A and B are shown apart, each in its own frame.
Chain A
Amino acid sequence: MKIKPRTFSDYASIGFPAGMLMVFFVIPFGIMIAVSFFQRVQGAFYEPAFVFDNYARFLTSFFGGILGFSIGLAALVAVVSVLLAFPFTYILTRMARRTQVVWLVFLLSVLSLSEVLIGFGWSTLLSRTAGISNLLVAVGILDKPMSLSPSFGAVMTGMVYQTFPYTVLVLFPALSRLDPSLVEVARTLGSGPVRSFLNVVVPALRNSIVSTLIMVFVFALGCYLLPQLLGKPSHWTLSVLITDQAIYQSNMPFAAAMAVFLVLVSLSLVAISLLYGKKENAA
């Protein structure tokens, strides 16, 4: 059915999208890479140069600490999200279609929410005057209401809240395509629902789980506001630091160098996860 494009008008249709993406995505990217080698000018913005200073700052212990924290936090968030979302999505795909759709609409709505609004929501929920600590006082666990944010726990909770719907949607295709007869066989042979889930469903989707973990990790690495809204400065991540350097410290070259670094990390991880996904499709 598909044919090779031959005439000018065949190519014309892809010309516009290709041009737009070239001008407004590839070129900005190129400029950003160029800026990462530029020199910062105090009081002004930056000037063209070819220096490695901005990358050399990666070697400082301050930066190393932030990088280590960002990676650790994103990894923890990804593991918690997948641990919660995998059984949830499995149950979801076995629900009646109507219930499934209601859940999906709800999860999509939360996923589309601005990080600003999620941060605001959780800081309200964890606040002294309107938060859950009041509930704990009413039950008798706490003596008086207290503020639960900023704290590491608040950052974690907010980020898992944000990544959970994403994780469910990444897992959804693989789990809904899983052959139901696999589980039926296990059940017929006498294994309980939990055992057949752990011994049949989980191993069957091993590669999907790994690639989802990586996708969620990259997603969590991109989280730019929650650590700022729900955490202390010591909980800032690479994404927060990039925004801070670009906007508030007006140090575009350093921000750009960190962004280039973040791209390399993300891209190589996404490539690995695609490779894992392919394996499963081939099998």
Chain B
Amino acid sequence: MINTFILRLFLGTIALFMAAPLAVVAGVSFNERKSLSFPPEGFSLDWYAQIFTEDSWRSALFNSVGVAVGASSLAVVVAFPLAWFLWRFHAPWARIVQVLGLAPFILPPVITALGFLSFWTTAGAYGQAWTVVISHGIFFVTLPLVTLTLGFEAVDDSLVEAAATMGADDRTILRTIILPLILPYIISGMAFAFVLSLNEYIVAYMAVGFTVETLPIKIFNSLRYGYTPTMASVTVLFVAIAVVVFGLIARFGDLPRLLGAWRHDDDS
């Protein structure tokens, strides 16, 4: 009895800790006046409307979404042939390419960001809007690479063998058997990259910080001049997007498995 109570208390404390800043931000986003007060005084959705009506916020939102769509597509386009090659062929040296694909995510982000800053400056393209799409696409290639590797591992070998016996070549097998089977992994990898690219600050800032304003860059710049409630509404919007995207992945896919769990009854 006492143990269940302690257990609940522990879980409750963690939930409270994780939710508290988001709850306060959600609260202040509903303030009627432009003040930072909690509990909110009055109730208004003006600050949500402002994301779409005020030019600077709207263009930042469009920039962010545009970059995230481009970058997540690029990440998948780079990760797919790599994951396929690693699955199809026996070539130990290809592990080096795999490690390169995993490295951007393991190293501190400042390093990748600084690498891109020196690269784009040297290439003479510093500040061009498209550079941030490539930078994010490479930076987040790890996510589709991981989900696709899991996806290929889950492909039943006997299906591929059957198709090969019937005379299908690699290309046909890829199109008719593998693609449909790993489509969920492509989508989830792309979704992970999309959400993280929306939120990413330092790489975007070092690549195009002075020419293109994404939402995180805009919020950081605004923070220096004090508080505006639109920051709060944008934060709530971003949390909502993340919850919806990850919720959809969980609804249509196997989230625990994507995150590395397997059930013991699976082995037998």
- Contact in complex: A32, B115 (CB < 8 Å): yes
- Contact in complex: B135, A24 (CB < 8 Å): yes
Query: What is the total of A-B residue contacts with beta carbons within 8 Å?
Result: 259
- Contact in complex: A13, B84 (CB < 8 Å): yes
- Contact in complex: B223, A108 (CB < 8 Å): no
- Contact in complex: B109, A28 (CB < 8 Å): no
Within residues 115 to 168 of chain A, which ones have a CB less than 8 A from any CB in chain B? Answer: 115-122, 124-125, 127, 129-132, 134, 161, 164-165
- Contact in complex: B138, A21 (CB < 8 Å): yes
Residues of A contacting B94 in the complex (Cβ-Cβ under 8 angstroms): 14
Within residues 5 to 53 of chain B, which ones have a CB less than 8 A from any CB in chain A? Answer: 7, 10-11, 14, 17-18, 20-22, 24-25, 27-28, 35-38
Q: A91-B7, A116-B223 are in contact. Are A104 and B101 (CB under 8 A)?
A: no
Q: Does A77 contact B (CB under 8 A)?
A: no
Looking at the complex, which of A53-61, A173-181, A198-206 is the stretch in contact with chain B? A173-181
- Contact in complex: B238, A176 (CB < 8 Å): no
- Contact in complex: A35, B118 (CB < 8 Å): yes
Q: Tell me which of B17, B36, B97 contacts A18 (CB under 8 A).
A: B97
Chain A residues with a Cβ under 8 A of chain B: 1-5, 10, 13-14, 16-18, 20-22, 24-29, 31-32, 35, 45, 84, 87-88, 91, 93, 97, 100-101, 104-110, 112-122, 124-125, 127, 129-132, 134, 161, 164-165, 169, 172-173, 176-177, 179-180, 192-194, 218, 221-222, 224-225, 229, 239, 242-243, 246-247, 252, 255-256, 259, 262-263, 266-267, 270
Query: Closest 3 A-B residue pairs measured CB to CB?
Result: A222-B108, A173-B260, A121-B21
Interface SS majority for chain B:
helix
Q: A4-B89, A10-B89, A124-B24 are in contact. Are A104 and B259 (CB under 8 A)?
A: yes
- Contact in complex: B81, A14 (CB < 8 Å): yes
**Cα–Cα, bound, A263→B115 (Å):** 11
The size of the chain B interface, using a CB distance under 8 A, is: 91
Residues of A contacting B21 in the complex (Cβ-Cβ under 8 angstroms): 118, 121-122, 124-125, 161
Q: Tell me which of B25, B85, B104, B262 contacts A14 (CB under 8 A).
A: B85
**Cα–Cα, bound, A28→B259 (Å):** 30
- Contact in complex: B89, A107 (CB < 8 Å): no
**Cα–Cα, bound, A104→B223 (Å):** 30
**Cα–Cα, bound, A108→B199 (Å):** 13
- Contact in complex: B232, A124 (CB < 8 Å): yes
Per-residue CB proximity of B184-203 to A under 8 Å, as 1/0?
00000000100110011110
